[in-house]
């Protein structure tokens, strides 16, 4: 997957930028103002992939992505887990005591909430972590700090006032890699795969219980179950599940046949190889 064009949300030095460089070290990266803009570049063919954060081990899911999922015309072709080391950054001469205002992406602020509270900083939500670093660099005021990566400190000539500023250790963000074209890896018995789908349940009693029952009876493991209200509605819920299986496995085919009896609007988001990070954590 090298020598490709990868779109991401944020500016240089953002964690999404780091993830792009980790997975696609020899590729061109394009910074976008929003997740939607990054996805549109892929839809239009101006980028090959989009690197999109889906959830974080400390702050949970990225809500905006789940609002975009029902309208998604792209496919998940891979996943990547990126360790997150938040740093407290300030301009030259700033100290922890001089800072009164701290800015970053809402997810990063949530992941550093306890430290922010202990230092009595006023949190200011911004579009991204590295953008906050860039902004305080331009402001050049020791009262303003930012939470961002070590790379951002180097890019924007800032001091690292505190490393490991996050509230929890082993903080990691799960990214999904989106493509315009669906790509189903060839089945190898010794390899582990994930299938991501979304669906709605039929208006019958215990529909969700029955819809998921086929996975249990056929020995198919579910790695994730998320529910969210479809934008523009208040009563219709959609469910996102990650299934540990490959489409060619008989047990998965049987489970999906049962799902179809109790679910509707089933949409495949992608089939991809399970990331090695999961295996290390098992």
Q: Annotated catalytic sites, by residue? A: 173, 175
- Euclidean distance between CA atoms 31 and 161, whole angstroms: 27
Please report which helix (H) or strand (E) contains residue 254, including its range: helix 250-262
DSSP 230-245: PTT-SS-EEEEEEEES
Q: First CA to last CA across the chain, in angstroms?
A: 27
DSSP 55-89: EETTTEE-HHHHHHGGG--SEEEEEEEEE---EEE
* 3-class state of residue 163 by DSSP: coil
Distances (CA, A) of 6 to 1, 29, 127: 10, 5, 19
187-188-192-193 Cα dihedral, nearest 10 degrees: -10
CB hemisphere CA count around 77 (13 angstroms): 16
Please report which helix (H) or strand (E) contains residue 276, including its range: helix 276-281
Please report which helix (H) or strand (E) contains residue 12, including its range: none
* 3-class state of residue 105 by DSSP: coil
Q: Is the dihedral of CA 268, 270, 272, 274 positive or negative?
A: negative
Token reading at 50: 């989009």
Structure letter (DSSP) for residue 36: H
């Amino acid at each position: 997957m090298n020598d490709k064009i990868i779109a991401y949300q944020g500016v240089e030095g953002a964690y999404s930028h780091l993830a792009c460089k980790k997975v696609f070290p020899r590729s061109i990266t394009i910074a976008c103002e929003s997740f939607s803009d990054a996805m549109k570049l892929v839809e239009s063919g101006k980028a090959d992939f989009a690197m999109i954060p889906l959830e974080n081990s400390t702050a949970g899911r990225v809500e905006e992505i789940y609002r975009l999922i029902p309208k998604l015309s792209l496919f998940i072709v891979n996943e990547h887990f990126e360790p997150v080391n938040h740093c407290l950054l300030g301009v030259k001469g700033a100290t922890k005591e001089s800072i009164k205002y701290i800015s970053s992406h809402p997810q990063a602020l949530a992941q550093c909430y306890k430290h922010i509270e202990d230092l009595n900083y006023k949190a200011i939500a911004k579009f991204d972590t590295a953008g906050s670093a860039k902004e305080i660099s331009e402001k050049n005021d020791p009262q303003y700090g930012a939470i961002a990566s070590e790379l951002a400190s180097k890019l924007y000539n800032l001091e690292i006032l505190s490393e490991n500023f996050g509230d929890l250790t082993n903080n990691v963000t799960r990214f999904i890699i989106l493509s315009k074209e669906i790509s189903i890896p060839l089945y190898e018995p010794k390899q582990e795969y994930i299938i991501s789908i979304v669906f709605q349940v039929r208006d019958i009693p215990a529909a969700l219980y029955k819809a998921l029952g086929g996975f249990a009876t056929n020995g198919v493991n579910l790695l994730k179950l998320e529910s969210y209200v479809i934008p523009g509605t208040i009563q219709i819920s959609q469910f996102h599940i990650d299934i540990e299986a490959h489409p060619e496995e008989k047990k998965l085919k049987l489970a999906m046949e049962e799902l179809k009896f109790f679910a509707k609007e089933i949409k495949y988001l992608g089939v991809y190889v399970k990331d090695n990070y999961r295996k290390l954590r098992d």
